[in-house]
């Protein structure tokens, strides 16, 4: 079936309207009318092939929310009319150790929501900047927020799970001091989630103008990471630091702040690598630098349920589909609080 979408035909061209083809639902498939799709910074990297390997035409978008309009005859989890979401994963091998553990995000054969090989036309997946999507029921998530919050739920499918998963894995909670580096699309979710988990949350920013905004999001303290006195005051005090910054910077500034056995986890993905950290800064206190990538399907559902229970959504700015190129330029300038979301109803003939 032909539907409307917005995508790019090359790394050098702006995004533009296009027609794409979706498969008809199979026995285990769910067909979703997309209401909203969040705009992730990785969409920009992929469209411009800054991580290399982008296949065109590229239709980005992996923060998808909408309503089920049809299901295959063997679907058990979802029914027409359900509010649902689709995140960064639309398929995996289903039988490896990672898939059996509900960690499909680490499956060697994980299929991303866009720019991954698929037997469907045109040979690679096409994402949520589109009117509809067809996905195997395993990778479709239930949304329990009220419908009026649906647009602000969309970024939870990437920004939410990207920050929730490491916070849960490294046991953020009461009695723990947790730092969040960066107050953007990922960082603002990290602050909200860590606060809801009961941790003492310290937000790090290079922008003095974000101090009050960070407190409003739930930070107990805010540190300007360019202020040496403010940084020194927190040396050897953090159990865990979540680093959301997607640009190269000095990690030693933050590893020094960790307690013995503390961990800093990187979730921001810079196009060029960070400088290698000072090894003695790690080994003298058994500190660790780790990475984390989104989350598996069970954990993503857990995150959505946690957010519904605690009234957590993203702070968003709604845009029309024809404003996407302007939104990309504004993202590059840091001119968004904190996530753009496309109203997919504006994808019209």
State the SS3 of the chain.
Answer: CEEEEEEECCCCCCCEEEEEECCCCCCCEEEEEEEEEEECHHHHHHHCCCCCCCCCCECCCCCEEEEEEEECCCCCCCCCCCEEEECCEEECCCCCHHHHCCCHHHCCCCEECCCCECCCCCCECCCCCECEEEEEHHHCEECCCCHHHHHHHHHHHCHHHHHHHHHHHCCCCCCCEEEEECCCHHHHHHHHHHHHCCCEEEEEECCHHHHHHHHHHCCCEEEECCCHHHHHCCCCCEEEEEECCCCCCCCHHHHCCEEEEEEEEECCCCCCCCCCCCHHHHHCCCCEEEECCCCCHHHHHHHHHHHHHHCCCCCEEEECHHHHHHHHHHHHCCCCCCEEEEEHHHCCC
Boundaries of every domain in the chain: 2-158+296-301+315-346, 160-291
Burial 118-134 (b: 16+ CB within 10 A, else e): beeeeebbbbbbbbbbb
Residues 276, 243, 54, 338, CA torsion sign: negative
CA dihedral (311, 317, 320, 325) positive or negative: negative
Give the pLDDT of residue 143: 99
Paired tokens of 183: 């107050």
A 10 A CB-CB count for 92 gives: 23
pLDDT score recorded for residue 74? 98
> Which architecture does CATH list for 160-291?
3-Layer(aba) Sandwich (3.40)
Packing angle, helices 185-196 and 297-310, rounded to 10: 70
How many other C-beta atoms lie within 10 A of the C-beta of residue 90? Answer: 25
pLDDT at residue 349 in the model:
59
What is the CA 247 to chain-centroid distance, rounded? Answer: 16
- CA nearest 222: which of 192, 181, 194, 186? 181
Q: pLDDT 10s per residue in the chain (349 long)?
A: 899 999 999 999 999 999 999 999 999 999 999 999 999 999 999 999 988 899 999 999 999 999 999 999 999 999 999 999 999 999 999 999 999 999 999 999 999 999 999 999 899 999 999 999 999 999 999 999 999 999 999 999 999 999 999 999 999 999 999 999 999 999 999 999 999 999 999 999 998 989 999 999 999 999 999 999 999 999 999 999 999 998 899 999 999 999 999 999 999 988 788 889 999 999 999 999 999 999 999 999 999 999 999 999 999 999 999 999 999 999 999 899 999 999 999 998 5
pTM, whole model, 2 decimals? 0.96
* Start-to-end CA span in the chain (Å): 15
Give residue 306's pLDDT: 99
Least Cα distance to 113 among 265, 242, 297 occurs for: 297
The two domains 2-158+296-301+315-346 and 160-291 share their CATH topology (first three levels equal): no
| Best CATH choice for the domain 2-158+296-301+315-346 from the list 3.40.50.980, 3.30.70.3270, 3.30.70.1290, 3.90.180.10 | 3.90.180.10
């Amino acid at each position: 079936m032909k539907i409307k979408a917005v995508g790019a035909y090359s790394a050098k061209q702006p995004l533009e309207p296009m027609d794409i083809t979706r498969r008809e639902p199979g026995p285990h498939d769910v067909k979703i009318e997309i209401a909203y799709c969040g705009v992730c910074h990785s969409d920009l990297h992929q469209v411009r092939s800054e991580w290399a390997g982008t296949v065109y035409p590229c239709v980005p978008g992996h923060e998808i929310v909408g309503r089920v309009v049809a299901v295959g005859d063997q679907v058990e989890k979802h029914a027409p009319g359900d509010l649902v979401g689709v995140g960064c994963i639309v398929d995996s091998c289903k039988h490896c150790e990672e898939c059996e553990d509900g960690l499909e995000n680490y499956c060697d054969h994980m299929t991303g929501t866009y720019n991954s090989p698929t037997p469907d036309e045109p040979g690679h997946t096409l994402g949520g900047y589109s009117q509809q999507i067809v996905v195997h029921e395993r990778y479709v998530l239930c949304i329990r927020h009220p419908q009026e919050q649906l647009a602000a739920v969309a970024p939870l499918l990437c920004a939410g799970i990207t920050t929730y998963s490491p916070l849960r894995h490294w046991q953020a909670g009461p009695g723990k001091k947790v730092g969040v580096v960066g107050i953007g699309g990922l960082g603002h979710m990290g602050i909200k989630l860590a606060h809801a988990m009961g941790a003492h949350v310290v937000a790090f920013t290079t922008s003095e103008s974000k101090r009050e905004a960070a407190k409003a999001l739930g930070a107990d303290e805010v540190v300007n990471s360019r202020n040496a006195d403010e940084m020194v005051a927190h040396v050897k005090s953090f159990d865990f630091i979540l680093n959301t910054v997607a640009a190269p910077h000095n990690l030693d500034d933050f590893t020094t702040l960790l307690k013995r056995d503390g961990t800093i986890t990187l979730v921001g993905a810079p196009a060029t690598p960070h400088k290698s950290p000072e090894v003695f800064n790690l080994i003298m206190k058994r500190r660790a630098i780790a990475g984390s990538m989104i989350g598996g399907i069970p954990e993503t559902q857990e995150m959505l349920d946690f957010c519904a229970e605690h009234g957590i959504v993203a702070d968003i700015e709604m845009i029309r589909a024809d404003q996407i190129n302007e939104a990309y330029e504004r993202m590059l300038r840091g001119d968004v609080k904190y996530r753009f979301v496309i109203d997919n109803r504006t994808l019209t003939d």
